[in-house]
Structure 1
C-alpha cells in the first residue's frame, strides 16, 4: 500500500509540474498544428479528386446518380486499402468520413516520435543532475518510475482527446450526414485506439530515458529504436511468406495497430494484449536499468 501511495503522490506532483511548465501547451500546439496540416491537406486532396471525377462524368454525359456511385466506390476502395480488405472493418467504418480515417492513420504513424519528444527526459532529466537521489531517499525506485510513467501517460491521454475531439467536430461540420451519435461513438473508439497504441511507446520512452544520464542521448536513442521497429515491420511485410524474415514484423509494436479499430472483440483484444505486453517489457527493462544505476 505504501508503494501505491508513493506512486500516486509522484504521479500527481509530476503531472502538476508538467502542466505548469508550459510544455503541455507547446506539445498541444505542436500536435494541433501537425494534425490540422494533415487534415487540411487530406481534405483538399479529397475535394480535388471528387471535383475532377464529377467534372469528367459531367463531360461524359453520365446520369445524375453517377457521381454518388463513383464516390461510394472510391470510398470502398480507400477503406479496403486502410483495413487490408477486412469486411468487418469496412462495415464498421462505413459512417466515418475518409478525412478522419486518413488523418488517424498518418498521425498514428508519427505519434511515437511525438511521445518521444514529450517524455525523453522524464528519468534522465533527474538522473543527470543527480536530483533523482532526493526522490529515491523518500520513495522506492519502482514508485518513482511508475509515477513518472503515469504522469506522462495522463498528459498524453488528455492531449490526444483534445485533438481527436477537434478532428471529429470538424468532420461533423464538413459532413452533415455524419450524425452526432456516430461521431460520439467513433470518437471514443478512435481515442481508445490511439491510447492503447501510444501507451506502449510511453513505456519505451521511459526505458530509453532510464538507460542514459543525458536527455539528448536518450532522445536520439529513442528515435533509433523507433526506426528499428519501423524497419522490422516494413521488412516483415515486404518479404515473401516463405522467408524467415517474415517473423520480424511480430516483434514490432506498430504491426498490431491495424486491428485497434476492429469491431470484433477478439481481434481488438489480441492487439491490445500485444501492446500491454510491450509496455510491460519496456517498463520492466526501465526498472532494471534504474535499479542497477548508481544515483
Structure 2
C-alpha cells in the first residue's frame, strides 16, 4: 500500500518531470559531445588518408582499429567484453560510462527527502500508527526504485534510438539485447546507491542535511576507489577499493555470468547493508 501510494504521488508531482528533464539534458549533452568528437576524428582520419592516396578500405580498417583501441580503453582491455560489446556503438558505451559517474548524485537529488521529509514535520507518526516502520521504509524505497528505473529506461531507450539512426550496422536484434543488458546493469548499479540515499535520508530530520551528508558519502566512496586504484600492485592500501561500490561497476556488462554475478552480488550486499542501517536508525529514532 505504501509503495503504490508513494508511486502515485511521485509520478503526479512536478519533481519527476524536473528529474526527467535533468537526466535528459545531461545525457543529451554527453551524447552531443561524444558524437561531435567521434565525427571530427573520423573526418580527420579520412582527410589524412585522402592526402596519402589511400583507398576507402584502408579508411575503414583504420577506423576499426581506432574503435577497438578506444573500446579496450573503456573496458580495461578485457577481450571477452570487447567481443561482446563489438556491435554496440561507441557513443552508447561512452554515455553509459559517464552517466554511471553522474547517476549516484542524481539518485541523491531524487530521494534525499524520502524519509527526512516525513520525519522533520513529524507527519511520519500518522503512518507508523498504521504500518510497521520496516514496511514504511521498504515501501518508500521501492517506490523510489520504481520511478528511477522507469526514468533510466526512458533515457536508455532514447540513447539507443539515436545510436540506431546514426549507426547503419546496428541491427534490431543487437538493439533489443543490448538495451536490456545496459538497463539491467543500470538497475543493479542504481539500487545500491538508492539504498545509501535512504540511509542518509533517515539520519537527519532536515532534508538539506540529508542531501549534504549523502553527497559527502558519495565523495568519500569515490575517493576510496581512487586511492585504492592508484596504489601500487600488492600494496595493502589497494584493497580499500573493494569498500567502494564504484569499484564493481566495470563487470556489470561482462558477458560471462561469473564476473557479472560477482558485481551483482557486491551491489546487492551494499544495498542490504545500507537498508539495514536505515532500518536500524528508523527503529531507534523517536518519531
Answer whether TM exceeds 0.5 for this pair.
yes
Counterpart of 1:138 in 2: which secondary structure?
Answer: coil
Tell me the distance in 1 between the aligned counterparts of 2:106 and 2:178.
23
1:157 pairs with one of 119, 129, 149: 149
Q: Does the alignment pair 1:116 with 2:97? A: no
Tell me the distance in 1 between the aligned counterparts of 2:212 and 2:258.
36
Q: Does the alignment pair 1:197 with 2:213? A: no
Q: Does the alignment pair 1:206 with 2:198? A: yes
Q: Does 194-203 or 57-66 show the bigger shift?
A: 57-66
Q: State the Cα distance separating 1:171 from its structure 2 match.
A: 0.3
Q: Which contiguous aligned blocks of 4+ residues in structure 1 show a shift greater than 6 angstroms?
A: none
Tell me the distance in 2 between the aligned counterparts of 1:249 and 1:42.
29
Q: Does the alignment pair 1:181 with 2:173? A: yes
Residues 145-179 of structure 1 deviation map (CA, whole Å, 9 limit, x = unaligned) = 00000000000010000000000001000111101
2:8 alignment counterpart: 16
Q: Does the alignment pair 1:285 with 2:270? A: no
Counterpart of 1:154 in 2: which secondary structure?
Answer: helix
Counterpart of 1:61 in 2: which secondary structure?
Answer: coil
Q: State the Cα distance separating 1:22 from its structure 2 match.
A: 1.5
Q: State the Cα distance separating 1:271 from its structure 2 match.
A: 0.3
Q: State the Cα distance separating 1:116 from its structure 2 match.
A: 0.2
Q: Which runs of 5+ in 2 are unaligned?
A: none
2:119 alignment counterpart: 127
Q: Which runs of 5+ in 1 are unaligned?
A: 1-8
Q: Does the alignment pair 1:275 with 2:270? A: no
* Counterpart mapping for 1:182-261 below 5 A: 182-261=174-253
Structure 2 length-normalised TM: 0.99
Tell me the distance in 2 between the aligned counterparts of 1:215 and 1:22.
18
Tell me the distance in 1 between the aligned counterparts of 2:8 and 2:56.
58
1:3 alignment counterpart: none
Structure 1 length-normalised TM: 0.96
Q: State the Cα distance separating 1:245 from its structure 2 match.
A: 1.0
- RMSD across aligned positions (CA): 0.6
Q: State the Cα distance separating 1:23 from its structure 2 match.
A: 1.1
Residues 45-85 of structure 1 deviation map (CA, whole Å, 9 limit, x = unaligned) = 00001101110111112222111011101110111111111
2:133 alignment counterpart: 141
Matched length: 287
Q: Does the alignment pair 1:264 with 2:252? A: no
Tell me the distance in 2 between the aligned counterparts of 1:27 and 1:244.
40
Counterpart of 1:260 in 2: which secondary structure?
Answer: helix
Tell me the distance in 2 between the aligned counterparts of 1:211 and 1:100.
37
